[in-house]
A and B are shown apart, each in its own frame.
Chain A
Amino acid sequence: MENIYLILVLSPLIGAIIAGFFGPLLGRTAVHSITILGVLISTVLAFYVFNHHVLEQGEVFNQNIYTWMQIGNLDVSVGFLVDNLSAIMLLVVSFVSLMVHIYTIGYMADDAGYIKFFSYISLFTFAMFMLVIANNFMQLFFGWEAVGLVSYLLIGFWHHKESATEASLKAFLVNRVGDFGFLLGIGLVFSFSGSLDYSAVFSSLDNALNQQLWGLDLITVICLLLFIGAMGKSAQVPLHVWLPGSMEGPTPISALIHAATMVTAGIFMVSRMSPMFELSDIALTVVMVVGAITALFMGLLGIVQNDIKKVVAYSTLSQLGYMTVALGVSAYSVAIFHLLTHAFFKALLFLCAGSVIVALHHQQDIQKMGGLRKKMPITYWSALVGTLALIGFPGFSGFYSKDMIIEAVNFSQLPYANWVHYAVVAGVFITAFYSLRMFFIVFHGKSRIPPDSAKHLHESPLSITFPLVVLAIPSAIVGYFIIEPILFNGWLEGAITVAPNHTSMTELSHRFQSASAMIFHAVQTPPFWMMIGGIIAAWVFSLYKTQWADWMVQKFRPIYYILESLYGFDRLNEIVFVGTVKKLGNLLWRVSDVGLIDKILVNSSANLIGVIGSVVRKIQTGYVYHYAFFMIFSLLIILTWTLFAGDSPLLEF
């Protein structure tokens, strides 16, 4: 099996290398054939691996492939851990990636960076494989950074656009915050277990019990730090600000990276770490609450957006929030289930949006669309499937996963779970509202397309519509078929640990009868009626009485303002973080450079650059005098400290 895993992981890398280094020599057709072949091999093998592990219950594969460095007790290896969790992830990643590869042929056809783009997305696929297949923290972190890196490259892909480069910089910086939390978490893991290998770490968790750090359990601190990493990558409030900006990148990568795969890495990571998170109710509560905040408030923002990709982006944020909530209530398998269904339907929705964007010559404002149903039938029907899956229409795949999350929250014993329950139920209304609003405005109603582009309007080419259709199928049905095995029949058993006192999963399994029974049961539950309400509201405001929407905006201007300014997160970052740091730097600069030197002793920096003559001599004396004074003064402080403080007081802190 080892060779199969190796080929699975490496074939996109080989494709990326060939495309990256020899692409210009080979030409466009060869490049896309080679990269697609690479990913196709991976996909086929991923099916095989899935069959071997999940369906035939093959043995878990956990081996180090290559020892990278060995320093004292720190052993850093490249290793594969293939269990059911990673087998499922491999399948999702390779399948969506394959679809996006094919789609890219049509979408990027007119772009000068065609070859580079293929090389990047294949590289991304490789990095994502390395992330999910890792058997140790170090490799996980490396995959984590690598997918991040490709993501920045692709967000800034159209680097002639100022907004694109800014968005990639923003994504980079925000993710740095998360990454350093993650890194500190890994460091603490190493400090108590002495290893970075998953299995070794999980089996030595007892060492960490009853240890305290900053008044919290050590485990809690570790989990919170790791979760900060997840918050960065999976865009949870308040580290979500980079994801809407990432829409500056080309649409295929929005589908692949910023909806289906990379952003769910945080969810995957927390599930992997379930043995650790299960030991800390505090951490789980934080996870759940952060998820609920993201699910509810990011969904609200989707309502006021008019950029087709931004709507889907905020919807992604909100759905990631749902997955995080599921993690918080210990329903890891439900989170993975939602991750899986979401990967299909959200990739589908993004690709539909891309199809519309291409047809309208890169018009992204939904107010300038409308009535596309007739002109683009395939896109229309695929988008309808995606939308129904997203809002959780009974029978569609999103329905099963989302309903299970809501139920799991209902059974959770954690504090604030009841509030979170309200939030996720309310979220259903909001999801239905913004999804259908977009759907109606884009595909129904009167066409608001300028006549000259309306003339050339036609359905997208096969390379674009084929992935749509292929993705629409699982979006519609996959939930029905896999809900029972993935949640209750042990697909994820062994890969995920749930503490006996966290009972939401067992409660769920008691209630669950069958997938079809769920459909009939749905009509008696509040989420179903919330969804219906959302659909009706969307219809009223966007088709039936559009003037009511304007009236609402007028009436509730303050709320609209808050939503439109995205709760001021960007402003807050601007002021608090960027501002403070700038001010601090400025202050230091003023005190040390300008204050001490320039003001007191005539302009010295300017002198350094080139004022010659007598001024120079004058400054030199004073200048050095001041430096010397500063040195002696510091010496004095240190001596005083040594005299009175005794043994190193700083170490206590």
Chain B
Amino acid sequence: MNSDDNSSPLLSPVANGVPIRLMNKLAILSDAAKYDASCASSGATKRDSLTGSGVGSTEGMGICHSYAPDGRCISLLKVLLTNFCTFDCLYCVNRVSSNVPRARFEIDELVDLVLSFYKRNYIEGLFLSSGIIRDPDYTMEQIVEVARRLREVHDFRGYIHLKTIPEATPELLASAGRYADRLSINVELARPDSLSALAPQKEAGGIRQAMAGIRSKLDESRDRSHSGRKAPGFSASGQSTQMIVGADDANDGELLDCSESLYKGYQLKRVYYSAFSPIPDASAALPLAPPDLNREHRLYQADWLMRFYGFAVDEIVAGGENGMLDPALDPKLAWALKHRERFPVDVNTAERELLLRVPGLGTRGVDRLLTSRRLRRLTLADLGRICGSVARMRPFVVTRDWRPTALLDAGGLRAQLLQGSAQLSLFD
């Protein structure tokens, strides 16, 4: 047994009355689920339990009820229904050829666990996924049944995210969407040939087809024009996906191109990037290394620029070298350094699009700046109060009392900013 887990605290002696069997299942099935990055619980339709008989509410913004020492938010009970799987995806801890311990929840056992955790305010809801047992439809039916019981038997109004199995029939996807706030299907790898090499039973075309199916359901449920009244709700907080970073040779440009096409083609809410991480009992075909968390971080920053700051993928990628983002600088700053001719920007006159390109100035800062400057011409100190810190902006902006003449041309600007950026993050 190559399990890494012989030191896990879950095995410390437990108090009387704790059901050991359930505890072991929970340990195995949450351990198996941790490689899915998403734990988001935001964007659901607003609802509460005042009118119902059960528990639960969603108020737009999700809540992180705890944080693991890996810095990740714990918002949902993220588990697999079972980690038995007939597929052999090499990067996955649950693949059929792995020797990890296996377990499977009874449906009611899991339903009770969700409710008990929820009532104690540990979680916002459930993120359920599963290894593929028997066949895709059977597995999907089981997943949907958990959600159905929560909603229909217990009137549970918390958040439900279901990982859907692309090979399952469209009818099952439709009923999954009725109970879930979010659906996701992982594309896993940006390159179709990597997918066939590393996940031989998966099929890039099928994954995209299923995403398109979800998208059209989403469109339908938002479209009132045909019948004049609102269609039944369908996965109100949309669909998301995940890509593994660093399991194949795809560069950042390829990953971001893939994301862009997914956002556009299937109206995804989020693409998650998950640095390929060591797993217990790994495949010999896929050597392990510590996960490249910095690369993952830069990809998230780039993704943000693409979605909220009006950057095109090639602009972002051009900030680095050879299709890879600059590992040392956030991609907006990297872009600005290669486009110094566009700066400095006068914060008292520049248009929104241009302000969004200023390193250190976020979307909220820009909005606040635009209201403030209607009333008076802003100084550097005003800018500091609006945005928190001007340290990184100084070389790139003009204010009533500030103009960076020599700074921007200085050859040492990159080095200087590098030093400063150790503590500063664009997305604070």
Q: Do A and B come from one complex?
A: no
Which residues of chain B have a CB within 8 Å of any CB of chain A? Answer: none
Which residues of chain A have a CB within 8 Å of any CB of chain B? Answer: none
